[in-house]
Amino acid sequence: MDTKQLYEQYMITSMVAGFEPVVVTRAAKCTFTAEDGKEYLDCFSGIAVTNAGHGHPKVVAAAKKQLDELVHCCTYVYYSPRAGELCKMLADISPGKLQKSFLGNSGAEAIEGAMRIAKQHTKRKEMVALTHSFHGRTVGTLSITGNKARKKGSCPYLSGVAFAPAPYCYRCPFKLKPESCNTACAHAIEDVIRFQTAGDVAAFIAEPLMGEGGILVPPDDYFKIAAGLVRADGALFIADEVQSGFGRTGKLFAIEHYGVEPDIMCMAKGIADGFPLSAFIVTPEIANAFTPGDHLSTFGGNPVSCAAAMANIGVMADEKLPANSAARGKQIMDRLKKFQTTCKVVGDVRGKGLMIGVELVKDAAKDKAPAADAAKKVRVAAREAGVLVGVGGTFGNVVRVQPPLVLTAEQAERVCDVLEKAMTAVAKSA
């Protein structure tokens, strides 16, 4: 049986946008090599994971060295040097007073832990989250996910969750314009707390750039207003940096664009360049909320993943990957924004660094009807031209450009060439 048949017969799969018919056997930097020998420029990074590039030699070497020494001991039963060292490193690179980390395996696990410690610290029970958000696929994380399509089939969810309107400027929930809206979506959090909760809010959780919702970029003053309102109520601010962290947006963490220090920050995806690992980091005061026996993860803080993560964080600094992400992101967005003025199906081009979304619509000048089919067609045409992009967003109409942060200027031009050609063809056939 070939790989596709094995998947069909033996794996549970449910990708929304369908599988890419590419059997990946090798990868290096930004390039995937398929079973048939064809090479692809990867602009999705295993969903925003391999930020330092596929198989970065320093990350791989650190993991190989650790494999020979210790694969597993359970970080929460015995002292494991790599776990301790990584937690110190996370404290060094995280904003503000964030200092103590809990290490887990996945983004969802980090979010679950963050919600739990927020509740235990504040002795409160409710959560405020955002519409269009995505925080994972466990019952707890789906409870705070603001997207019906992701939630279906897993009810009942946790009670005590209220949703504030997302900062989705292109489809403003208040039908306002960014230049004159006074960031109404952030101010709305006050009423959400006042009218939709029982006054028992432990935390407000948000993605500093909203990934699965369609690469939504909150206005510059959004988090200052939001965190201010939430803290005035006595609740905490949790930044979900699972997708936006580790250089993806042009800064090490996306919340740094907003000048706000979260009380809790969640990390995963880009933390170890592809090795499974996650963390949430809190202030020492909040960390004290966990008492012995409260929280544990058998595989969390695996030594091999921790060694890879430390090498990965070193590479980020040595190779100035956040700066390259900012430069290449600007290059791509400048070009695509120019192209947008000539192509009726391009509704919006947005993002920061190499976290870019191109929202496709039926006709940008007439209405903003989402064009999910167009996004799928662009993905197929790009793949046929050797470039792999993602498709997502609440309406399935956003082309996602999230390559490894080692993307070169030439590769960035190629991505634009391929996407512009694909979007022109789609616009002609629309």
Between residues 265 and 416, which has the closer beta carbon with respect to ligand PLP?
Answer: 265
Q: Which of residues 86-145 bind ligand PLP (CB under 6 A)?
A: 106-108, 111, 134-136
Q: How far is the CB of 271 from ligand PLP (least distance, A)?
A: 10
Q: In terms of DSSP bridges, do strands 201-206 and 236-240 run parallel, antiparallel, or are they unpaired?
A: parallel
Pick one of 122, 243, 297, 394: the residue that binds ligand PLP (CB under 6 A). 243
Tokens (6 digits) for 95? 């904003």
- The smaller minimum CB distance to ligand PLP, of residues 17 and 184, is found at 17
For residue 13, the minimal CB distance to ligand PLP (Å) is 14
**Least CB distance to ligand PLP at residue 278 (A):** 7
CB of residue 45 vs ligand PLP: minimum separation in angstroms? 12
**Helix 57-69, helix 303-318: angle, nearest 10:** 150
Q: Are 380 and 350 in contact (CB under 8 A)?
A: no
CB of 241 to ligand PLP, least distance (A): 8
Positions 21 through 80 that interact with ligand PLP (CB under 6 A): 47
Q: Answer yes or no: are the C-beta atoms of 289 and 100 closer than 8 Å.
A: no
Taking the least distance from each CB to ligand PLP, the nearer of 43 and 381 is 43
Q: Report residue 169 as tokens.
A: 């400027």
Residue with tokens 């694909």: 422
Residue at 409: amino acid letter: A
How many Å apart are CA 7 and CA 17, to the nearest integer? 16
Determine if 242 is a binding residue for ligand PLP (CB under 6 A).
yes
Q: Which is nearer to ligand PLP, 110 or 185 (CB)?
A: 110
* Closest to ligand PLP by CB, 48 or 236: 48
Q: Is the peptide bond before 156 cis (omega within 30 degrees of 0)?
A: yes
- Least spacing, CB of residue 313 vs ligand PLP, in Å: 18
Among 207, 261, 263, 359, binds ligand PLP (CB under 6 A): 207
Query: Measured at CB, which residue is nearest to ligand PLP?
Result: 107
Q: Determine the size of the site formed for ligand PLP (CB under 6 A).
A: 15
Which residue, among 109, 67, 93, 78, has the nearest Cα to 306 in the 3D structure? 67
Our CB check for ligand PLP shows the closer of 51 and 340 to be 51
Nearest to 360 by CA among 400, 332, 326, 324: 400
Q: In which element (H, E) is residue 84 found? A: helix 81-93
CA-nearest of 203, 48, 208 to 113 is: 203
Segments of 252-324 assigned E as strands: 264-267, 278-282
CB of 30 vs ligand PLP, minimal distance in Å: 20
- Applying CB under 6 A, the span of 206-214, 281-289, 325-333, 372-380 interacting with ligand PLP comes to 206-214
Please compute, for residue 387, the number of CA atoms within 13 A of its CA located in the half-sphere on the CB side. Answer: 27
DSSP three-state, residue 384: helix
CB of 115 to ligand PLP, least distance (A): 12
Q: Which residues bind ligand PLP (CB under 6 A)?
A: 47, 106-108, 111, 134-136, 207, 211-212, 240, 242-243, 268
